[in-house]
Amino acid sequence: MATAGSRAGSPALGNRWLQLLIGIACMALVANLQYAWTLFVVPMKTQNHWTGAQIQTAFSIFVLVETWLVPLEGWLVDRFGPRPVVMGGALFVGLSWVLDSFATTLPSLYVAAAIAGIGAGCVYGTCVGNALKWFPDRRGLAAGLTAAGFGAGAALTVIPIANMIHESGYQQTFFTFGLIQGIAIFILGIALVRPQPSAKIKPATRVATSTIDYTPAQMIRKPIFWFIYLLFVLVAGGGLIATAQLGPIAKAFGFAKMPMQIFGATLPLLTLALSIDNLLNGLTRPICGFLSDRIGRENTMLIVFSGEGLALLGMNAFGHNPYAFLVFAPMIFLCWGEIYSIFPALCADTFGSKFAASNAGTLYTAKGTASLLVPIASLMVAGGGSWDRVLISAAVVSVAAGLLAKLVLAPMRRRWFDSNGVEAGVVLQTH
């Protein structure tokens, strides 16, 4: 169904690479809602006397709303096009941080988190789904580049946000960056369009692609979907804990504010770590997406999921050393961020392109399910434990997910394509 604003109004807007760049920019502008959150945790805890678990409940609410509403937002994109969904999401993005700047009670903090989740979900689900539709021949790369905006976007603003929190307080920082992000996304959203029928390109990768387009309702009735969902939850859990808890972990290790020299500048260790983390978190998405287009989704999953497990174990064993912390924290992000390129591409490969936005959005709810582990990690530590058990548990789960992808998912998908058919000329990459 074509509606006003859903089709290209000029030939320039119909260029798929331009659409990809616009999507990346929108994702970068919404990234702070997740990846800069850890910078606000300690200031909010100090000023409002909230516990870490209470504050991180807001983070879980944000992720739950962001992910669990994406199927609805994806349906809106499939029906009305990306423009109105992103423009509406921009309003929620701006409003959320403005409300955070005035929040003095936990209920108000949680309301702002839910609003932020709606805004981030509108932008994230739309941009990834649009990329999958514009680039059926390079799904892994396109989804990876788009998701890279969300992963690396915060790297550009971590230092300004940290400096403003230090100089003007976290409330003013929420307010200022909330307005900037909301307005910028709204303007960029005006230029988003979905592919014209003539712009459709046949899949040309060597990754197996289904000849049948499944609706979300049909997809969720297939056991293979739920196994993919399980793998997403397992790997996302450890990464989300690291994302939300990196600040408290660095503080617990005693060197969050330790001055570090880099390129002639002096930065607190946590700020430097977050900048490097977010850059690698973004960089891994197109690289692993491209790699998965070449060697297969499951082979790539085995490599990077195992890498995340080793990085988490390294953080546990050596992370109390500040220099080792600066090595293993970025490794965790490097081996985690790629799930946001591999899983959307895997979903479109398996269930078709026509409903790619809503199908990928349905799978993306696994991130929300995984977010429930974040406050549990805080409670484990508050209950007299240490970060050791949290990091080791996350590592074991991540390595197990890599093995399951190779040993179980690969043959499941091979049988799936044998029964459903694949695009002509496509070679299964399951070896």
- What per-residue confidence (pLDDT) applies to 72? 86
- What per-residue confidence (pLDDT) applies to 201? 58
- What per-residue confidence (pLDDT) applies to 2? 43
Mean pLDDT of 252-272: 76
Mean pLDDT of 65-80: 85
Highest mean pLDDT among 202-211, 265-274, 346-355: 346-355
Given pLDDT bands bounded at 50, 70 and 90, which one contains residue 1? very low
> Is the Cα torsion angle 104, 105, 106, 110 positive or negative in sign?
negative
3 state SS of 49: coil
Mean pLDDT of 371-389: 71
Write down the residue that tokens 């490599």 correspond to. Answer: 303
Mean pLDDT of 191-202: 68
Query: Looking at the predicted structure, is the pLDDT value of residue 264 above 70?
Result: no
For residues 329 and 407, which has the higher predicted lDDT (pLDDT)?
407
Given pLDDT bands bounded at 50, 70 and 90, which one contains residue 382? low
For residues 379 and 306, which has the higher predicted lDDT (pLDDT)?
306
Q: Which amino acid is at 193?
A: V
- What per-residue confidence (pLDDT) applies to 389? 79
| 101 within 8 A of 172, measured Cβ to Cβ | yes
- What per-residue confidence (pLDDT) applies to 30? 93
Note the pLDDT tens digit of each residue in 101-140: 999 999 999 999 999 999 999 998 899 888 888 888 788 8
Query: Looking at the predicted structure, is the pLDDT value of residue 155 above 80?
Result: no
- What per-residue confidence (pLDDT) applies to 388? 80
Asked which of 92-96, 200-204, 368-372 is least confident by mean pLDDT, the reply is 200-204
| 355 within 8 A of 215, measured Cβ to Cβ | yes
C-alpha to C-alpha distance for 267 and 258, rounded to whole angstroms: 8
The pTM of this model reads 0.74
Note the pLDDT tens digit of each residue in 232-261: 998 888 777 776 677 778 877 877 777 777
For residues 9 and 428, which has the higher predicted lDDT (pLDDT)?
9
| 185 within 8 A of 86, measured Cβ to Cβ | yes
Fold type of domain 12-420: Growth Hormone; Chain: A; (1.20.1250)
- What per-residue confidence (pLDDT) applies to 268? 83
Closest CA to 341 of 291, 403, 288: 288
For residue 382, CA distances in Å to 52, 316, 379, 387 come to 9, 18, 5, 10
pLDDT, averaged across the chain: 84
The DSSP annotation for 308-329 comes to: HHHHHHHHHHHTTSHHHHHHHH
- What per-residue confidence (pLDDT) applies to 263? 66
Mean pLDDT of 45-60: 87
